[in-house]
Each structure stands twice: as C-alpha cells, then as structure tokens.
Amino acid sequence: MRNIALIATVTACVAAAHAETVSRSRAVVATAGSHVETRHQVAEPGIRPSSPAAGSGWTYSHGSSIPQTLAIGSTARRVWVGQYLNVERLQEFDLNGNGTPLDEFPAVDGSPTVVHAADAADLAVVLDGVPGSVVLKAYTSASAVPEWEYSFAPNFGAAGFRSARVSRDGSRVCVLVNDQAATSTDLHIFDGASGALLNNWTYPAFATGIDLNDDGSLCLVTQSTNGRLIDTATVTEIFTAPGSGGGAWHRISGNSEVLALGGFSFHVYKKIGPVYTQVINFSTPTSWFGNGIGISRDGSTVVVMSHDYSNYLETVTRIIDVDTQTLLGQHDTAGAGSLQDAISGAEVSDDGSVIAVSSWGTQNNAHPEVMIFDRNGAMIGSIDTVGSPFSLDVSGDGLSVSSGSKSVHANINGSGGTVTTVHLPPPCPWDCADGNGEVGIVDFLALLGEWGQIGTACDFNNDGVGIVDFLELLGNWGECPP
C-alpha cells in the first residue's frame, strides 16, 4: 500500500530540456455565452498534449427549478435531467442539440426526481414521488409514456439524490429506499427491460447512495462511512470497506476491479486475485474527500476532488493511476469571500482520458465551477456557471460534459437553474506516434512499422479490417482537428 504524499508527481517533474511549445484551446461557457481561448504551454517529452477543446455546446435555463440530477445516455445521444424544488419534471435533451427539450414528463411536487441513464443502452429511470407514494419510471428515447413503472410500498422514501442507478448495459436497475419507521434501507433490484423486481436486500440502518458495475451484477452501497458491496443475484454482502466520515458517495469501476471510498480520507481498493486489497490510503489535514470521486470504466484511473473544510475556499483535484498508485496530475484552487467552495461531483470517461470535477465556486469566482482535465491534469475545458453546480456527467467517449447548476450560489437563497453541455473534439487520430499535435514523418514511420498488425495505435480508421493497411495512409494526412 502506498501513501500518495510520498509519490513523486509527474508532469512538473519531467525534464524540460527538450520541451516543445504547443497550442491548446479550451471551451469557456460563461454568463455572456461561449467562446474559445487559445493559450500556449510547454509539452514535456513523453507526455501527449491534449487535443484542443471546441467551443460548441448548449445551455438551457429555467427560472424556478434546479437540475439537481442529470445523466448522459451515450447510445441514444441523450441528456436526461431531473428538475427539482419547483416545477419538478424529467427532461430529455438531444446531447448534440441546441438545448431545447425534446420532451418533458411531469413529476410529483416535492419529488427529488432522481435520474440515471445507461451509457451503452437506451434506458433512463427517474425516481418520482414523496414518502408514501414513490414510483420508479423507465423511459427510452422513443418514450411518450413510461416503458414501465414500479410503485414502492408506502413505508419507503427515496434515500437521496444518488439512490437510483442503471447498469451500463441497461440490464439492471437498482434503487435504494429508506424505511423511516423501521430505520432501515432496502435495495430493490429490477430487470431493466421489463421492470420486474428481481431481488431485495435490506440493511438495518440508513444508506444514502449506490453505484453499479457494467452489468449490474455488483452494487456498491454507501452506508454511513462504509462501502458495502452487494452481489445483486444472491443479495449477499461480499465485501465491506470502512470509510471515514458519513456523507460521502463511494464508487465502483465498470469492470468491478476498483472501489474508491471518500470521507476525511481517500481509500482505493483493487481486486487482486479474488480479494479486494487496499492500495491507497491518503489524507491531508482539514480535507474532505467525500463527494468528488470518479473512476474510469476500465479501472485504470481515479480522480478525487477535495476541499479544505477549515475555510471552504480551497480545493485540490488529484488524478491517480491505480496500478502504480502514481499521482498523474494535481490542480489546486484558492478563493476569497464568504461562500463555500464545496465539492459536488467528479466523473471520468471510459478510458480515463477525460475527467470532469465540479464545486460550488467562490465569491470572487477564483476558478470555473466545472473543470475538465486530461489524464495528466492539464485543463482542457471548463464551464463557468452562474451559480453552483449540483449535477455532472461525462459521456463514455469523453467527448461531452454536462452539468446542472443553480442560478445562484448554493449558500444564497434563490431558485432556478441552468443545464450546460460542452463538446470536446476527438483526439487527432493521425498523430499516432509522438503525440505532438501534428502529423509528420515520425507518425508515418510508426504506421509503416505496424503494417499488417492488428490492434495497434495507427489502425484508427475503423475500416472493419482490424489491421494497419494502405487505407491508413489516406484521408486528411497532416491535419488534426482545428
């Protein structure tokens, strides 16, 4: 087990003797609209510069309701939004659209409208209702009415804003509900296609959130300080990891190999053989790690955003390689004023190449509330929200980031909010060797060296052949996305 504080940090420590200057752009979405900033920076040898971020995207604003939860469904290219507090409803947006809702489905007054969506299937669910009348509803991109519904017993109420999850493949839906009278928690497990209730798991204390692996066979329950890993087929608790402080949200990777728990410290468990083994145990004074944890689907990358609870004006984002426990990048912010810069979310693309984190922001607007990084910690995009973000998601391919924010800071009374989606360009495929942002002789020689090979870096044209061949020489040679 390693302590991250003892690990040498990465990009800043790479020798700069042969560094080169490259350009990077980033999307900035502010109150006045979107624009693109281009800046120059030094790219260290051996570190691939990030592709420039595009300024494309959309916003949607409402004067009363707050987008408390949202989820990107990548297969159907949808953003599903749960509007809360006023005019409660489920909204459906085209991920690549202009910010006009494709459809809206009303929810009960006072409903938390907890939303989640599958990333590799066309399925979204919303937890609607108040204690005594909670209903789970499932939708697809073609739905005019719910595809199926399930009404919970009157003793159950929603456990929190992270209490409904759909597996990546859409085969399983899990919902956590609290029994207020019995002071217990019940995990309901559904078939994603039919809505049939498959299993129940009950725990004699309250729990607040859940996370699922790709096929929904494992559900990580955040129960007070603990992470309880539940086999959804047998409803048995197969592993328990202690956290450090209630109020966090614990995460599991899509491949089931990595668990990450937050609180007053940050713990990462990796499955080594049949056993989850702790590989990271990290803390710093007056830091809270509870609400800003993300893991890539492949388990290679974790991110944790923390804030200093002694003044709520400083945050630190750390990006870590799980296998080596190496700190790949770190980004620190500091602000001024009386408003709290509390952490609200962290999400990672499937392969760990794109990372987004969010916090409430400071009175002097010291940094964008939503920051988007590459795996080495370079900021490649941001969303400067008007108020505090409460919801965040990254598409599986890492090309889109969506955030839902209040119209004012979370510490200020007010209603209304905004949904913002920004798009990042795909990496430059022709630049398959040296990653310098251009296509040149080094890339050409690498392509020749991989001639006829399967699954190599330069076989990027997805031609169905699966090998490097002559077709890789055609196309926009010498060009990358602007």
pLDDT per residue over 264-288, tens digit each?
999 999 999 999 999 999 999 999 9
Spatial CA neighbour of 195 closest among 130, 113, 123, 107:
123
Q: What is the per-residue pLDDT across 179-211, written as a single tens digit (0 to 9) for each?
A: 999 999 999 999 999 999 999 999 999 999 999
Query: In a 3-state reduction of DSSP, which class is residue 12?
Result: helix
Q: Given this model, what pLDDT does residue 456 score?
A: 58
Q: Under 8 Å CB-to-CB from 58, ≥6 apart: which residues?
A: 93, 97, 98, 99, 420, 421
Are 168 and 118 in contact, with CB atoms under 8 Å apart? yes
Reported as a pLDDT band with limits 50, 70 and 90, residue 246 is confident
What integer pLDDT is reported at residue 370 of this predicted model? 98
Mean pLDDT computed over 425-430? 67
* 22: Cβ contacts below 8 Å, ≥ 6 apart: 40, 41, 42, 43, 49, 436, 437
Is the CB of residue 396 less than 8 Å from the CB of residue 350? Answer: yes
Name the band, by pLDDT with cuts 50, 70 and 90, for residue 438. low
The H or E element that residue 417 is part of is strand 417-423
CB 69 within 8 A of CB 114: yes
Give the mean pLDDT of 35-40: 27
- In whole angstroms, what is the distance from residue 238 CA to residue 218 CA? 9
Dist. CA 53–CA 216, nearest whole Å:
33
Question: What is the per-residue pLDDT for 216?
Answer: 98
* Band (47; pLDDT cuts 50, 70, 90): very low
Mean pLDDT of 234-258: 96
Q: What band does 481 get if pLDDT is binned at 50, 70 and 90? A: very low
pLDDT band at residue 457 using 50, 70 and 90 as cut-offs: low
Question: What is d(CA 227, CA 249) in angstroms, rounded to the nearest whole number?
Answer: 9
β-bridge partners, 43: 20
| Residue 330 CB contacts under 8 Å (≥ 6 apart), including other chains | 9, 316, 317, 318, 319, 377
Given pLDDT bands bounded at 50, 70 and 90, which one contains residue 6?
very low
Q: What's the mean pLDDT in 315-325?
A: 98
Q: What is the pLDDT of residue 56?
A: 82
pLDDT at residue 446, as a whole number: 75
What average pLDDT does the structure give for the chain?
A: 84
In the chain, where are the structural domains located? Answer: 58-423, 428-482
Percentage of the chain modeled with pLDDT above 90? 75
Does 29 have pLDDT greater than 50? no
Average pLDDT in the 313-327 region?
Answer: 98
324: DSSP letter: T
Of 19-28, 137-146, 436-445, the least confident:
19-28
Determine the average pLDDT of the residues in 417-421.
98
pLDDT score, position 455: 53
3-state secondary structure of 4: helix
**In this predicted structure, what is the pLDDT of residue 441?**
74
- Mean pLDDT over 429-451 rounds to 68
Report whether pLDDT(472) > 50.
no
How confident is residue 403, by pLDDT bands cut at 50, 70 and 90? very high
Mean pLDDT (whole number) for 132-160: 97
Domain 58-423, CATH 2.130.10.10 — does that match?
yes
Rounded average pLDDT over 339-359: 97
Chain centroid, CA 479 distance in Å: 31
**Closest by Cα among 115, 111, 53 to 79:** 115
pLDDT of 228 > 90? The answer is yes
Question: Is-contact 46 65, C-beta < 8 A?
Answer: no
Average pLDDT over residues 66-83: 96
Residues 6+ apart with CB under 8 A from 398: 349, 350, 351, 353, 354, 424
Beta bridge partners of 125: 116, 138
Q: Name the least confident of 32-41, 256-265, 293-302.
A: 32-41
Helix (H, G, I), strand (E, B) or coil at 449: helix
